[in-house]
Amino acid sequence: MKVLAIDTSFDDTAAAVVDGRRVLSSITRAQHQDHELFGGVVPEVASRLHVERILPAVDAALEAAGLDLHAIEGIAVTNRPGLLGSLLVGLDAAKALTLVLGTPLVAVHHIEAHVYATFVERPDLEAPLLCLVASGGHTSLVHLVRPGVLRVVGRTLDDAAGEAFDKVARAAGLGLPGGPALSELARRGSAGRVPVPRPAVPGLDFSFSGLKTHAARLLDDGAAPEDVAAAFEAAVVDVLVARLREAAKKTGVTTVALGGGVAANALLRLRAAEMADEERLALVVPRTALCTDNAAMVGCIGHEMLEAGLRAGLEVDARSTAAVGELPFGAGGS
């Protein structure tokens, strides 16, 4: 089944065409430069830019796939969670296309799509697996119990890892996107020159607010920015990998994965690989283009939802918040 997928959950306008787990095209139009003047993403600006770019992105995805609209057999669109105005742009575009083409529509959870990016990278892989989804808006440990059945076993109690990276980058006077800029700065520093604690919270949850505040204070006190960046990055990575290790033991999985924009971080990839070797786990890390927001992952999970018989009516709405796993679609239900 050839599926047209759309994602406008935050500040990237993305469209893709997939056939099962095979990506025929994937187009992303980033907005970083448009928001840099403001020091962060402005929701109203993001929405306006999505309006301007969504149809050209869809056209580009179809052209890259060598298909026209009438070859599309299903449409998948992110409708939760994210910036409400941004989500509505993509959702309305998907509804219009569904109405015109008469093709079935499914509404996709953005974090669940990040988990399914694992299958875009490794089409031969099957559940169960455990995925650390770390991005600017979310940090969660998601257990894919079986196809279509997902459960969160750990989540951030405050700031997401990517959000913390962006805020420390801003405090260091770096531009957008903050995470890659801070990691680049960290390469010139030494993590051992400034003290950065590892937050301890119960269970498998995360907390990055204190780390962010501590790093900002170090910068205010005159610590070398490159050393603060290195120490902060090391602390965040240590916490993420430690929780991933603990969660893998608790769930009993043999395959772990990374997803979300923070999964593009080189240090996180290295430390996760080391941990996986130590614990005799298989590790899957999607290529960078599949870690950051994209529509190919939306198409992958959307295809499975369509195959399972799920359909969204034209009354489906966008939601800024939504729990992972609230709508199981695999065999056997929840």
**Can you give the CATH number for the domain in which 144 is found?**
3.30.420.40
Low-confidence residues of the chain: pLDDT under 50 = 332-334
Question: Do 296 and 283 belong together in one domain?
Answer: no
Question: Do 83 and 152 belong together in one domain?
Answer: no
Instruction: Provide the residue range defining the domain that includes 14.
Output: 2-115+292-307
Number of domains present in the structure of the chain: 2
| Interatomic CA distance for residues 174 and 180, integer angstroms | 10
DSSP run (H or E) holding 140: strand 139-146
CA-wise closest residue to 283 among 301, 297, 269: 269
What's the confidence (pLDDT) of residue 334? 38
Question: Do 64 and 201 belong together in one domain?
Answer: no
Answer for the pair 79, 91: CB distance below 8 angstroms, yes or no: yes
Does residue 121 belong to any structural domain of this protein?
A: no
What's the confidence (pLDDT) of residue 155? 96
Tallying the residues shown for the chain, one arrives at 334
Give pLDDT tens digits for 84-101. Answer: 999 999 999 999 999 999
What's the confidence (pLDDT) of residue 247? 98
What's the confidence (pLDDT) of residue 331? 52
Question: Do 68 and 142 belong together in one domain?
Answer: no
Question: Do 296 and 267 belong together in one domain?
Answer: no
